[in-house]
Amino acid sequence: AEEVGGGDKEVVREYFNNSGFQRWRKIYGETDEVNRVQKDIRLGHSQTVENVLKMLKDEGSLEGVSVCDAGCGTGCLAIPLAKEGAVVYASDISAAMVAEAEKQSGEDSFRCGECNHGCCTYTSTVMAKEQLQAGREKVVMPKFEVKDLESLNGKYDTVVCLDVLIHYPQSKADGMIAHLASLSENRLLLSFAPKTFYYDLLKRVGELFPGPSKATRAYLHAEADVERALKKVGWKIRKRGLITTQFYFARLVEAIPA
């Protein structure tokens, strides 16, 4: 596969194995050790995950559906998808993120047979495992792997890539979108930080106060650019969603072959 990340990719890998890992593990986790901004981002991100699950389930049951979660992070989406019965392959460029995702999936490997769709909060920590095993179905957790999305291959019914494009400029994102589409047979869900006037302005203000690491640099993407990249490889957008909290902005699109 073409090297689409270039220098950026190495910086991103390094970041998500070190300070980025510490930061995002907290944000994507459940503990109280988050500040106000991080808490808000946690909320926004969880809404994105909920929206994705809803978009996917709207088209029918996920039981047995193969899903590739590219750039899976700590497994926030991959694990609930597995609980829905999807056959999930999840990968990330960061070994630290993948190790955390594996840990999370180990701690949370049963689903409640009452609702049978992963929405309830009964986990192995709430109910005894024996009790769950007795009357409830065992979840087949995702297969996790350390791999950058550019070198993924195979075919999946559905490919999902959430909040990853933000780390790459549009010139790199084009190739990433094309590659993700080539892995998918039926649908591709992407979320990215939309390049709207308001958000562009916020980001510019942010640039006046640069953080210590340039890996925290965020790239915004115009929806039209993402749409154009999809069109170039024969895909079109079927559904759109917008998730905004005070500090979190994500455009969610579901694309299908045109």
Paired tokens of 252: 């969610």
In the shown chain, the binding pattern of residues 144 to 163 toward ligand SAM, with x for contact by CB under 6 A and - for none, equals ----xxx-----------xx
Site residues for ligand SAM, 192-211, by CB under 6 A, read: none
Paired tokens of 217: 């640099």
Q: Which stretch binds ligand SAM (CB under 6 A): 9-17, 35-43, 108-116, 213-221?
A: 9-17
Among 42, 83, 167, 217, binds ligand SAM (CB under 6 A): 167
Question: Residue 235 CB, nearest distance to ligand SAM (Å)?
Answer: 20
Q: Does 251 bind ligand SAM (CB under 6 A)?
A: no
Residue 96 three-state SS:
helix
Report the alpha-carbon distance of residue 204 to residue 13 in Å, rounded: 25
17: amino acid identity, one letter = N
Question: Residue 135 CB, nearest distance to ligand SAM (Å)?
Answer: 31
For Cα atoms 77, 82, 85, give the angle at the middle one, nearest 5 degrees.
135
Residues contacting 88, CB < 8 A, separation 6+: 66, 67, 68, 69, 78, 81, 82, 141, 142, 143
Nearer to ligand SAM, 9 or 83 (CB): 9
- Buried b / exposed e over 169-208, threshold 16 CB at 10 Å, is ebebbbbbbbbbbebbeebbbbbbbbbbeebeeebeeeee
Among 56, 68, 81, 93, binds ligand SAM (CB under 6 A): 93
Question: Residue 190 CB, nearest distance to ligand SAM (Å)?
Answer: 11
Question: Residue 7 CB, nearest distance to ligand SAM (Å)?
Answer: 12
Nearer to ligand SAM, 31 or 130 (CB): 31
Residues contacting 144, CB < 8 A, separation 6+: 72, 75, 78, 90, 91, 92, 98, 101, 102, 105
CA distances from 85 to 54, 63, 74 (A): 14, 4, 19
Q: Which stretch binds ligand SAM (CB under 6 A): 8-16, 60-68, 115-123, 237-245?
A: 8-16
129: amino acid identity, one letter = K
Number of residues that bind ligand SAM (CB under 6 A): 23
In the shown chain, the binding pattern of residues 22 to 51 toward ligand SAM, with x for contact by CB under 6 A and - for none, equals --x---x-----------------------
**Binding-site ranges for ligand SAM (CB under 6 A):** 5, 9, 12, 16, 24, 28, 70-73, 76-77, 92-94, 97, 148-150, 162-164, 167
